[in-house]
Amino acid sequence: MRAVAYWAPGELRRVDLPEPRVEAPDDAVVEVRRTAVCGTDLHLVGDGHGLTPGTVTGHELVGTVREVGPGVRRVRPGQRVVAADFTACGLCWWCRRGDHWECHERRFMGTGTAFGPALAGCHAELVRVPHADVVLAPVPDEVPDDAAVFVGDALATAYAATRRARFLPGDVVAVLGGGPVGQLCAQVAQALGAGVVVLVEPLAARRNLAEACGVPAVEPAAAADAVRRLTDGRGADAVLDAVGGPALLDAALELLRPRGTLCSVGVPGDRSWSPSLARLFADEITLSFAVGDAMRDADALFGLLRGGQVDPLPLVTATVPLGDLPAAFGVAASRSGVKTLVRPDG
């Protein structure tokens, strides 16, 4: 089969590989209909962290089930499905709580060993999905592939951040970052009852996109004044960081009111951060982090898509055939667009 694999820092290559097959009773093999380029892909491929040459990349997937193992009951051949970006057993204490990310059988698709044991990704014509009854979810007929592909990661991440922030109806929410996750954080926050959502983004094209989707947007230099005007000087009730790293976390705290909540879902490139513990304590700041979990939240995510409260389609700025992905990856890394989708043809 045709696939795209990591080869060296910043370099992807087209490769031909044997077709995956069912290896365990709860496996499924899925024909890829649509996949995508994610910010996590850009980070890992850029520095090679956890990847070895030949690692098939990609972890956002909509496809059609081709084959299932004898233990699979929830999905069947011929069914259109979305996959969560990582696997979990569905049976352990963590999974029973809905905390699939903490499952000891977690394997993050297409990211090598960066987040645990390696599992081949979905930048390919076919992909093997372990624990298929847990990881895969049927896609409603009225949700197109180009929207459903967001469910496995970007939309799940935005939903997890927004729920973790625990703001009240009418609250003011600031979102840092106008990439796919940030744009979706803003849309989900509106859908869940925020009074005013402000997206903070340095690139004018991404601010314009947010405005076109009904979300007020400002450049970083204007963010503090905008939030103060909206809140009579208090600061935002919640701030969602969709970029990650010390600089963005510091910027988020500057926008946050006392007793506010900061939730970060950006994968940090820098592993250290030194906030003022005195300020966190004195202002009773709630600091949290979240990982998207489509296994837990797929029903809610499809509900938002079916009801029209969230629309990811305006975020799609390019759709390329699989064979063109290595070249398109460089364009995505330049941030000249927002979301690049990948078709299996070509």
Sequential pLDDT tens for the chain (346 residues): 999 999 999 999 999 999 999 999 999 999 999 999 998 998 899 988 899 999 999 999 999 999 999 999 999 999 999 999 999 999 999 999 999 999 999 999 999 999 999 999 999 999 999 999 999 999 999 999 999 999 999 999 999 999 999 999 999 999 999 999 999 999 999 999 999 999 999 999 999 999 999 999 999 999 999 999 999 999 999 999 999 888 889 999 999 999 999 999 987 766 788 888 888 999 999 999 999 999 999 999 999 999 999 999 999 999 999 999 999 988 887 777 899 999 998 6
Can you list the alpha helix ranges (DSSP code H) found in the chain? 39-47, 93-96, 132-135, 145-148, 154-165, 180-191, 204-212, 220-230, 246-255, 277-282, 294-307, 325-333
Tell which residue, 236, 188, 184, has the closest CA to residue 209. 184
Helix axes 294-307, 154-165, angle to 10 degrees: 100
Amino acid 254: pLDDT: 95
Give the tokens for residue 102.
């903490």
Q: DSSP secondary-structure letter at 344?
A: S
Amino acid 1: pLDDT: 96
CB 212 within 8 A of CB 183: no
Q: DSSP secondary-structure letter at 297?
A: H
Q: DSSP secondary-structure letter at 18?
A: P
pTM assigned to the model: 0.95
Amino acid 142: pLDDT: 96
- For residues 333 and 205, give the distance between their C-alpha atoms in angstroms, rounded to a whole number: 16
Residues in the chain: 346
Amino acid 346: pLDDT: 62
Amino acid 332: pLDDT: 81
Tell which residue, 155, 167, 212, 215, has the closest CA to residue 193. 167
CA dist 78 → 66, 68, 75, 148, 295 (Å):
6, 10, 9, 17, 20
Amino acid 334: pLDDT: 78
CB 240 within 8 A of CB 257: no
Give the tokens for residue 87.
């696997």
Amino acid 16: pLDDT: 97
- For residues 10 and 77, give the distance between their C-alpha atoms in angstroms, rounded to a whole number: 36
φ/ψ region of 11 (left if φ > 0, alpha if ψ in -120 to 50, else beta) reads beta
Domains identified in the chain and CATH numbers: 2-153+293-343 (3.90.180.10), 156-289 (3.40.50.720)
